[in-house]
């Protein structure tokens, strides 16, 4: 698990992500519900390939992702790397 100082340092590379308790989160906004679903499916495929699964909440045109490493009870480098990869998907 990353210390608070380590986490704050890593968060500099993750614009629009925020620390939320023992997790990091971000809300992605899309034009349509269909776009939200497509993004969530891409995130799901990526997460499955990394065997590291976020909490995904779809609310019409918004997708909220929450990342934490449950076995560590906090944010680890796995979460930071997954967040970086998710941001790449958003920009595709």
DSSP 3-38: -HHHHHHHHTTSTT-EEETTEEEEEEE-SSHHHHHH
pTM here is 0.95
CATH number for the domain whose boundaries are 4-90:
3.30.1360.20
Q: Which band of pLDDT confidence, cut at 50, 70 and 90, is reported for residue 92?
A: confident
Q: What is the average per-residue pLDDT within 17-29?
A: 97
Q: What is the average per-residue pLDDT within 57-81?
A: 97
Asked whether residue 90 carries a pLDDT value surpassing 90, the answer given is no
Q: What is the average per-residue pLDDT within 49-75?
A: 97
Extents of the domains making up the chain:
4-90
Q: How many of the other CB atoms lie within 10 Å of CB of 70?
A: 9
Q: What is the mean pLDDT of the chain?
A: 96
């Amino acid at each position: 698990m990353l210390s608070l100082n380590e986490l704050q340092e890593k968060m500099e590379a993750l614009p629009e992500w925020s620390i939320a308790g023992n997790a990091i989160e971000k809300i992605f906004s899309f034009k349509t519900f269909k776009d939200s679903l497509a993004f969530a499916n891409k995130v799901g495929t990526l997460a499955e390939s990394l065997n590291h699964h976020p909490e995904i909440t779809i609310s019409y045109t918004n997708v909220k992702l929450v990342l934490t490493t449950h076995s560590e009870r906090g944010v680890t480098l796995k979460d930071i790397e997954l967040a970086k990869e998710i941001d790449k998907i958003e920009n595709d």
